């Protein structure tokens, strides 16, 4: 891609070109379009499982293309999660909390990662440092600003104030809603699309970050597609969530205790490339054209 990946632009340092506000808003909308296609419009539901800035490529016009489908999986029409996995394969900071308990990739876990990407793109900061001790730094920081009524202060200072404050608040609230600790409270991609189109008010988000609760009771989503019933995760295990005081990104200290128990036992493993279909067909999803909501596929039989 002529303009490389998104991470080079938002984490590239002082000498990196700065994406303007319109470019950031448009590429977030584009990635949402791609996710909506994969989750609801393709003939089988696809979970990407590895959404992060380094997998979002930018063309010559800074349109986003969602790439690296090596971990993606297509699911049969009566399934809502991919369970044939041990551990969680995605990059640590983009993993939804429930995945540490279930090992399942779902649309909700994709939405969680997308929420993290929204916050990184708007704030111009990485979600955490490379070690598990920094898990969730950016999320906690934005939640804290939201609670103080100063959420717009999180916008990338390199924009030097050249952004729409209402749109900035909309995106930051969307990022918090998508990265909600509990899967059942995250919005679906069709609601995300409406929000980004400005056809509905910004999401209402609690002033304090909700605690991650586990286990949860099975529920059926009323707005699920007619041919698919989705059940939330269940487990016999219980988890004690220890709340810590987050620090501003870049500092060290209390984060070392955050979600340590969840992260410690995570095992990252790659489970092949491609998408399994009924009848033994593997589909290689090479890229999704984000702006026009298209995906290019080539088939190969196992």
**Would you say 117 and 53 are in contact if contact means Cβ atoms under 8 Å apart?**
yes
β-pair type (56-58, 64-66): antiparallel
Please say if 50 is a catalytic residue.
yes
CA 173 to chain centre: 14
Nearest to 259 by CA among 113, 119, 132: 132
- Tens digits of residue pLDDT in 9-43: 888 777 778 999 999 999 999 999 999 988 887 77
pTM of the model: 0.66
CATH superfamily for 6-301 is Transferase(Phosphotransferase) domain 1 (1.10.510.10)
Q: What is the domain partition of the chain in residue ranges?
A: 6-301
From 50, 68, 110, 156, active-site residue? 50
Lowest-confidence region among 197-201, 206-210, 218-222: 218-222
Lowest-confidence region among 56-65, 101-110, 248-257: 248-257
């Amino acid at each position: 891609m002529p303009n490389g990946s998104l991470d080079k632009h938002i984490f590239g340092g002082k000498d990196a070109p700065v994406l303007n506000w319109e470019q950031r808003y448009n590429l977030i909308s584009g990635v949402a379009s791609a996710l909506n296609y994969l989750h609801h419009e393709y003939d089988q539901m696809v979970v990407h499982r590895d959404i992060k800035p380094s997998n979002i490529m930018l063309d010559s016009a800074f349109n986003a293309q969602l790439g690296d489908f090596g971990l993606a999986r297509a699911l049969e029409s009566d399934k809502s999660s991919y369970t044939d996995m041990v551990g969680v394969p995605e990059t640590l900071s983009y993993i939804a909390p429930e995945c540490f308990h279930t090992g399942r990739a779902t649309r909700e876990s994709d939405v969680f990662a997308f929420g993290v990407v929204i916050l990184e793109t708007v704030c111009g900061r990485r979600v955490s440092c490379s070690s598990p001790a920094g898990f969730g730094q950016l999320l906690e920081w934005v939640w804290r600003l939201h609670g103080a009524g100063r959420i717009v202060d999180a916008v990338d200072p390199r924009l030097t104030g050249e952004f729409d404050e209402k749109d900035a608040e909309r995106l930051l609230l969307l990022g918090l809603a998508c990265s909600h600790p509990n899967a059942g409270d995250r919005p679906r991609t069709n609601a995300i699309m409406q929000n980004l189109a400005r056809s509905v008010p910004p999401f209402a988000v609690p002033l304090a970050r909700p605690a991650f609760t586990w286990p949860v009771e099975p529920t059926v989503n009323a707005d699920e597609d007619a041919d698919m019933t989705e059940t939330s995760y269940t487990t016999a295990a219980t988890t004690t969530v220890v709340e810590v005081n987050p620090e501003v990104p870049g500092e060290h200290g209390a984060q070392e205790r955050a979600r340590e128990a969840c992260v410690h036992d995570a095992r990252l493993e790659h489970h092949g490339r491609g998408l399994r279909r009924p009848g033994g067909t593997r589909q290689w999803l090479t890229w999704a054209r984000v702006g026009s909501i298209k995906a290019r596929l080539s088939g190969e039989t196992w």
